[in-house]
């Protein structure tokens, strides 16, 4: 079974808005029904706005999508939530629908071994005397280097030293994010997405790791201390986000899904919005959809110098030993183009004795090609490394065209100019897509939206 998002799907031109029974302070349009859009809708409807949410997708949740195939439910990406997740504070029924599961991460290191993520302390300290000396020298040289880094690779080399950056497999990991060398990525990427590496590479980070390792030798392993996280219900993300929609609709919010917006223009203090739903007036607009989608809608014709990275996700099942224990495995080996896999069966159980998982392939040469070729390449690489001994079966795939904003060199100046134009028009931009911001977790998306909406509305 194959799935692919092929573009906008229009709705009936006769669709109309339903007015709230109360007199609202402001008519607000929110573009996008993902985490950012739902967060903005909750905040603005809570203060008394009449809120309408429009999305080109026929579902809510944005890029959080699930697919039920052969009795298994697969996701796009590796998505875990914590009990203090801000969206759960806004929509408590969403938390009640979730499943509690074990959370742990591992990585396939450059030696082809399953190890700690993002690196094992032993890989740094248990080197040959020559390797240890070179690592220490490079590490000190990097931290004493005050030169402004020109790209993401130079940032990482300053953090870890050039030797560790390569021997720990971090270079392979960085290059896989966008399918291009880290030398072509702006340093902003490390600041926005790689804070865990910044923390791990600091003296405090190394010290904390050594202290934890020492304490671990003094006590017996405690299975109860394993981190626990929440994941969406077995039925998929539609079941997770439905309570949020229902709560917002009870408060008067309107959802128009599968809708295409043709234009947004100013009419004095208001906005005139036209699309497959007709023509409507709003006092305020919050944008959470990709910038290259909002740009032509506001009348801009010039080509945008910003890029997005596609993500091909394969849905696979397996019968037999897998060779690792964590529900999330990252690829730091030079073999294979996959970045990460997530074991969904860890939370929901085996199906007919088979585990099942999703594997992510960011912008690589085969990402938009034949998924069967990607699957064969994945199967060959992991089996050569001793993983997934047994039968691997491809059940489906999904291509996300705009999975990640790409931080090309100098992109911040371009974004600043675009945001100034949107600000002058009076459109509030928020969220990962709306702000072209690589926010790594949904919790950070929600926090950023609340901050942005509160500051500008």
Torsion, Cα 209 215 216 221, to 10 degrees, reads: -130
Same domain, 58 and 183: no
pLDDT, position 22: 43
Instruction: Kindly list the strands in the beta sheet with 27-31, ordered across the sheet, starting from the edge strand earlier in the chain.
Output: 254-257, 50-55, 27-31, 284-287, 427-429
> Phi and psi for 124 in degrees, rounded to 5?
-90, -45
Domain limit, last residue, from 220, 247, 268: 220
Q: Are residues 299 and 415 in the same domain?
A: yes
pLDDT tens for residues 408-434?
999 989 999 999 999 999 999 888 888
Q: What CATH number is given to the structural domain containing 397?
A: 3.90.660.10
Question: In degrees rounded to 5, what are phi and psi of residue 351?
Answer: -120, 115
Entry pTM:
0.89
Closest to 401 measured CA to CA, from 340, 339, 313, 311 = 311
Q: Does 94 fall in a domain?
A: no
Residue 436 has a pLDDT of: 78
Residues 216 and 243 in one domain: no
Instruction: Say whether both 46 and 130 belong to one domain.
Output: no
Q: How far apart are CA 89 and CA 46, in angstroms?
A: 13
Rounded to 5 degrees, what angle do the CA atoms 80, 193, 150 make? 165
Is residue 37 a part of any domain in this protein? yes
Backbone angles phi and psi of 15, in degrees to 5 = -60, 135
Instruction: Judge whether 242 lies within some domain.
Output: yes
pLDDT value of residue 225: 54
Burial level of 156, CB count in 10 A (0-12/13-18/19+)? buried
**For residues 269 and 443, what is the distance between their CA atoms, to the nearest angstrom?**
33
Query: Which of 167, 190, 220 delimits the end of a domain?
Result: 220
Neighbouring-strand partners of residue 337: none
Q: Are residue 133 and residue 179 in the same domain, yes or no?
A: yes
Measured CA to CA, the distance from residue 400 to residue 311 in angstroms comes to: 5
**First vs last C-alpha separation in the chain:** 44
In a domain, 363, yes or no: yes
Shared domain for 334 and 201, answered yes or no, is: no
- How far apart CA 438 and CA 405 sit, in angstroms, is 6
The whole-angstrom separation of Cα 114 and Cα 326 is 10
Note whether 401 and 414 are same-domain residues: no
Q: Domain tally for the chain?
A: 3
Q: Are residues 186 and 239 in the same domain?
A: no
Domain that holds residue 123: 119-220
Choose among 5, 1, 85: nearest CA to 403. Answer: 5
Residue 18 is predicted with a pLDDT of: 37
pLDDT (0 to 100) of residue 2: 38
CB 420 within 8 A of CB 300: no
Would you state the pLDDT for residue 221? 59
The CATH number covering residue 244 comes to 3.50.50.60
Q: Is 301 found in the same domain as 247?
A: yes
Do the Cβ atoms of 389 and 383 come closer than 8 Å? yes
Do 429 and 401 fall into the same domain? no
Q: What is the DSSP letter of 365?
A: T
The per-residue pLDDT for 334 is 94
Asked whether residue 35 is assigned to any structural domain, the reply reads: yes
- Residue for token pair 């064969």: 376
pLDDT in tens, the chain (457 residues): 333 333 322 223 233 333 344 444 799 999 999 999 999 999 999 989 999 999 999 999 999 999 999 999 999 988 999 988 989 999 999 999 999 999 999 999 999 999 999 999 999 999 999 999 999 999 999 999 879 999 999 999 999 999 999 999 999 999 888 888 999 999 999 988 888 888 899 888 888 888 887 777 776 655 545 789 999 999 999 999 999 999 999 999 999 999 999 999 999 889 999 999 999 999 999 999 999 999 999 999 888 888 888 999 999 999 999 999 999 999 999 998 899 999 999 999 999 999 999 999 988 665 566 899 999 999 999 999 999 999 999 999 999 988 888 889 999 899 999 999 999 999 998 888 888 776 666 767 677 777 767 666 5
Buried/exposed code over 175-185 (b: 16+ C-beta within 10 A; e: otherwise): bbbbbbebeeb
Is 98 inside any structural domain? no
pLDDT at 8: 29
- 314 and 379: one domain? yes
Residue 299: Cβ within 10 Å count = 10
Q: Is 392 left (phi over 0), alpha (psi -120 to 50) or beta?
A: beta
Q: 13 lies in a domain?
A: no
Are 311 and 285 in the same domain?
no
């Amino acid at each position: 079974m194959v799935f692919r998002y092929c573009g906008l799907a229009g709705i009936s031109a006769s669709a109309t808005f339903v007015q709230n029974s109360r007199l609202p302070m402001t008519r607000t349009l929110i573009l996008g029904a993902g985490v950012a859009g739902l967060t903005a809708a909750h905040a603005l409807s809570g203060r008394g706005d009449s809120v309408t949410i429009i999305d080109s997708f026929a579902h809510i949740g944005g890029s959080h999508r699930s697919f039920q195939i052969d009795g298994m439910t697969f996701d796009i990406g590796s998505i875990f939530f914590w009990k203090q997740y801000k969206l759960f504070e806004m929509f408590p029924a969403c938390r009640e629908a979730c499943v509690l599961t074990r959370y742990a991460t591992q990585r396939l290191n450059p030696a082809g071994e399953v190890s700690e993520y993002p690196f094992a302390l032993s890989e740094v300290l248990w080197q040959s005397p020559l390797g240890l000396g070179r690592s220490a020298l490079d590490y000190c040289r990097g931290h004493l280097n005050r030169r402004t880094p020109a790209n993401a690779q130079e940032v990482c080399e300053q953090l870890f030293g050039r030797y560790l950056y390569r021997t720990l497999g971090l270079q392979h990991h960085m290059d896989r994010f966008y399918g291009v060398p880290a030398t072509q990525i702006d340093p902003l990427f490390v600041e926005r997405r790689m804070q865990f590496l910044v923390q791990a590479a600091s003296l405090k980070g190394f010290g904390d790791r050594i202290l934890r390792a020492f304490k671990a030798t003094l006590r017996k392993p405690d299975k109860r201390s394993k981190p626990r996280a929440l994941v969406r219900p077995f039925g998929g993300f539609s079941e997770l986000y439905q309570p949020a929609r229902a709560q917002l609709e009870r408060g008067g919010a309107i959802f128009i899904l599968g809708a295409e917006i043709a234009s947004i223009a100013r009419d004095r203090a208001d906005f005139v919005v036209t699309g497959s739903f007709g023509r409507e007036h709003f006092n305020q607009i919050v944008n959470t959809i990709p910038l290259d989608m909002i740009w032509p809608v506001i009348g801009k014709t010039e080509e945008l110098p910003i890029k997005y990275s596609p993500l091909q996700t394969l849905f696979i099942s397996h019968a037999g030993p897998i060779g690792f224990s964590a529900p999330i495995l990252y690829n730091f080996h030079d073999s294979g183009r996959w970045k990460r896999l997530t074991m969904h069966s860890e939370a929901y159980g085996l199906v007919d004795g088979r585990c099942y998982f999703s594997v992510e392939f960011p912008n690589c040469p085969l990402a938009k090609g034949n998924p069967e070729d990607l699957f064969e390449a994945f199967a060959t690489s992991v089996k050569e490394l001793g993983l997934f001994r047994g039968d691997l079966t491809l059940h489906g795939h999904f291509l996300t065209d705009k999975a990640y904003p790409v931080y090309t060199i100098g992109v911040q100046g371009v974004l600043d100019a675009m945001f100034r134009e949107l600000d002058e028009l009076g459109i509030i931009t928020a969220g990962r897509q709306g702000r072209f911001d690589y926010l790594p977790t949904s919790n950070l998306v929600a926090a950023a939206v609340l901050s942005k909406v509160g500051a500008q509305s």
